[in-house]
Amino acid sequence: MSFTFRSLAPESDAALLHSWVTQPYATFWDMQDFSREQVAAAYTQIQSSGHHHAVWGLEDGKPVFLMEEYAPGLSNLATAYAIQPGDVGMHMMVAPPVGAPRQGFTAAVMEAVLNRLFKDPRVERIVVEPDAQNTRIHALNARLGFVPAGKVDLGSKEALLSFCTRADFHEARLKLHQSADVAPTLTVSR
């Protein structure tokens, strides 16, 4: 699988983004009842913040996932844990399914996201805070090296705070590809 990235444009991408975040499977994104205009406004704020940024993950030029990276110290995590230099927060959402599920696709997306973030030498650790009830993402996070640090109350949700260091990611990635019958080819470019 080969993925590239492009910055999300809130106004021109609002229709597509709205069609994703209002899907039943995207309940943990907390935008189920948002209008297209509200989604565009939320992402305009994200893109102009200077510390939070959203990008599309593209396959063959088509958006297939959304990734956000943010500074934890300037987010709702600011008082939830002892932030360390090199921490970066991340959110990720895969496109609504079309047709038959693709074996290993979501793991490949997560691997591409982590690869992209760790390409920045300043990034030492990736922080995620999915809803504590979102067991599917917890399992995927663990597969790719995230270690749970415990539940935290973020006001709008109880989250499972988890961390992935560069070393944890590389170790998990080796195990992931060793356990596969045929290791997938994954290409990521900016």
CA angle (22, 74, 94) in 5-degree steps: 30
Rounded Cα–Cα distance for residues 29 and 38 (Å) = 14
Burial of 76 (0-12, 13-18, 19+ CB in 10 A): middle
Instruction: Judge whether 190 lies within some domain.
Output: no
Instruction: Judge whether 150 lies within some domain.
Output: yes
Instruction: Judge whether 179 lies within some domain.
Output: yes
Q: What is the reported pLDDT for 184?
A: 43
State both tokens at 190. Answer: 């900016």
Per-residue pLDDT of the chain (190 residues; tens, 9 = 90+): 789 999 999 999 999 999 999 999 888 888 999 999 999 999 999 999 999 999 999 999 999 999 999 999 999 999 999 999 999 999 999 998 878 888 889 999 999 999 999 999 999 999 999 999 989 899 999 999 999 999 999 988 999 999 999 999 999 998 887 866 444 444 444 4
> N- to C-terminal Cα distance for the chain?
15
Instruction: Judge whether 11 lies within some domain.
Output: yes
Tell me the CATH number at 162: 3.40.630.30
Nearest Cα neighbor of 72 from 57, 91, 48, 44 is 91
Instruction: Judge whether 140 lies within some domain.
Output: yes
Rounded Cα–Cα distance for residues 148 and 164 (Å) = 9
Q: What is the reported pLDDT for 1?
A: 78
Q: What is the reported pLDDT for 68?
A: 97
Q: Do 175 and 151 contact (CB within 8 A), yes or no?
A: no
Instruction: Judge whether 12 lies within some domain.
Output: yes
Instruction: Judge whether 102 lies within some domain.
Output: yes
Nearest Cα neighbor of 115 from 57, 170, 45 is 170
pTM of this structure? 0.89
**Domain count for the chain:** 1
**Domain residues for 6?**
2-185
Nearest Cα neighbor of 54 from 87, 105, 14 is 14
Phi and psi dihedrals of 153, rounded to 5?
-90, 115
